[in-house]
Amino acid sequence: DIQMTQSPASLSASLGETVSIECLASEGISNDLAWYQQKSGKSPQLLIYAASRLQDGVPSRFSGSGSGTRYSLKISGMQPEDEADYFCQQSYKYPLTFGSGTKLEIK
């Protein structure tokens, strides 16, 4: 199975701050990488797929980048509603596997 190492496990950011979260795959995954947001008590929501493609309805302050084994999610200008857990998922090979998650809080 492809292992996804996500960092950091948690971080806090001030409103308006730019935040980055990273995922490292145990092998190359050819941009087959998605990011999800999960707010407390809610189900996960797809933010980005194919490493950089924004899901319909997701604010443009969210962006994804990367290649090979390293990928990142950037939030440009932290908003109160961005406080949530974020996790990555590789879709290059079955079984699909997930990162361990990042808890993002407002400072």
Partner 1 sequence: EIQLQESGPGLVKPSQSLSLTCSVTGYTITSGYDWSWIRKFPGNKMEWMGYISYSGSTNYNPSLKSRISITRDTSKNQFFLQLNSVTTEDTATYYCARTIPYYYVMDAWGQGASVTVSS
Report, in Å, the least distance between residue 83 CB and partner 1.
16
Q: What is the greatest pairwise CA distance in the chain?
A: 38
Closer residue to partner 1 in complex, CB, 35/75? 35
Token output for 14:
């001030």
Q: Is 35 exposed, middle or buried (0-12, 13-18, 19+ CB in 10 A)?
A: buried
Report, in Å, the least distance between residue 96 CB and partner 1.
4
Closer residue to partner 1 in complex, CB, 17/85? 85
Closest CA to 35 of 24, 25, 23, 19: 23
Report, in Å, the least distance between residue 93 CB and partner 1.
9
- Contacting residues toward partner 1, per CB under 8 A: 1, 32, 34, 36, 42-46, 49-50, 55, 85, 87, 89, 91, 94-98, 100-101
Beta-carbon-side half-sphere exposure of residue 44 (alpha carbons within 13 Å)? 13
Closer residue to partner 1 in complex, CB, 72/97? 97
